[in-house]
Amino acid sequence: MRTSSQIPALPTLIVHGGAWAIPPEMADDHQRGVANALATGYAILKKGGTATDAVEAAVTVLEDDPTFDAGRGSFLTSEGRVQLDALLMDGATLRAGGVACVEHLRNPIQAARLVLDKSPHIYFVGRGAEAFAASHGMPLIENQELVLDRERIRLAEAQSRLARGLADITFSGALAEDDKSPETAVQSFLSHDTVGAVALDQFGNLAAGTSTGGTLNKAPGRVGDSSLIGCGCYADNHSAAVSLTGWGEPIMKLVLGKWATDRVAQGTSPELAAQQAIDYLFQRLGGHGGIILLGPDGRFGLAHNTPGMAWGIGNSDGLRTGLTV
C-alpha cells in the first residue's frame, strides 16, 4: 500500500496496468506502459484539462499497448475472439458511459466517453454499443486486428489444461471462491492485466475509467466487474474515484468500488480504505486483485494482494511508477 501523508496540490492522476504476478521478462513493458499512460494523462491535467479527459487519454494509451489485457492484445474468449468492456465516470456530474462485449472497437474507453457525453443512456452492449459508437464517428475494425498470436497460444494452453483435468487458472468459473488453498492462491495470481485510471483536476473534479478484455477463456457474453458502475469503477466528487483489477466475479458480488468510496465518504483515509477493500475481498470471498483510490483532496491509496501491480502516480511530487506497492 502506498499513500500521501500530506495533502498535495492539484492535479493528480493515478493509473494501473493490472495486478498479478508480473513475470520478470514482462516487467519493463509494464513499467513503460504505465509511464506512457501517466505522461499522456498528466500533461492534459497540467494544461488545465478535465479529469475525465485525462482518464480517457491515459486509458487509451494503455488500450493501445499490447502488453495489457485491454484493447489489442487482450485475453481471448473460449471462442478465440477479443470481447472488450469499459466504463468512464465523471465524479462532478455522476454521468457515466459504459460498453461491454464489444468486438470491433479499438478503444472501448472512447466509446464509453461518447456514451457519457452524447447519450441519455449509461450502458450499451455488443452490436448496439458498436452501432452507437459508429454513429458518432468511431471506426469499426475486424476482431482479428485485436488478436495477438501470444493470446492464441495462451488460450490453447489454458484449454489444454482444462482438457487434461488440471486446475482452472483462468477465472472463467472453475475456481471455488471458498478455496483459499496455497495452490489456488498461487494460480490466482497468474493473470489480471486490466487497466484503469483515476484523476483529480484543477477544478477539484474526480473521474475514473477502467478497460478490460476480461478473463482468459471467458464464455462469450460474460461481463466482469471492470465496466460495471460501483464494481470495478466509480467516481463521485462527494466520496472518491476508484478503479479495480482482479478476479471480477467476487469484486462484483461485493460492489467493491462503491464499498471503498463509501468508506472515504465516511471519513476513512483513501490509504486505509484501499487496504480494507482488498482485505475484505479476500476475507469474504477469497478474491484477489488491486485497487487505486483517490479522494477529492488528493489523498490516495493503492493496494493489492497479488505479488505485483503496475501503477503510476502523477501529482505535485512528480511522476512515479512501480510494480508493487
Which residues lie near ligand ASP (CB under 6 A)?
A: 18, 69, 192-194, 212, 214-215, 224-226, 232, 245-246, 248
User: Torsions phi, psi of 139, nearest 5?
Assistant: -70, 140
Q: Record the cell numbers describing residue 243, joined without a space.
A: 478503479
CB of 211 to ligand ASP, least distance (A): 10
CB of 213 to ligand ASP, least distance (A): 8
Nearer to ligand ASP, 190 or 272 (CB): 190
Active site includes 194? yes
Q: Could you tell me how many residues make up the chain?
A: 325
Q: Which residues, at least 6 apart from 167, have a Cβ–Cβ distance to it below 8 Å?
A: 161, 174, 175, 183, 184, 187
**Selection from 224, 210, 197, 246 nearest residue 18 by Cα:** 246
Q: Is the dihedral of CA 269, 271, 276, 281 positive or negative?
A: positive
Q: Which residues, at least 6 apart from 250, have a Cβ–Cβ distance to it below 8 Å?
A: 177, 281, 284, 285, 286, 287
Residue nearest to ligand ASP (CB): 248
Nearer to ligand ASP, 194 or 205 (CB): 194
CB of 69 to ligand ASP, least distance (A): 5
CA-to-CA dists, residue 189 to 23, 145, 185, 305, angstroms = 11, 28, 7, 9
CB of 214 to ligand ASP, least distance (A): 4
CA-to-CA dists, residue 220 to 2, 194, 212, angstroms = 37, 18, 14
**Selection from 271, 199, 197 nearest residue 237 by Cα:** 199
In the set 50, 194, 306, 321, the catalytic residue is 194
CB of 207 to ligand ASP, least distance (A): 19
Question: Which H or E run contains 64?
Answer: helix 51-64
Residue pair 324/309 in contact by the 8 Å Cβ criterion? yes
Q: Could you list the active site residues?
A: 194
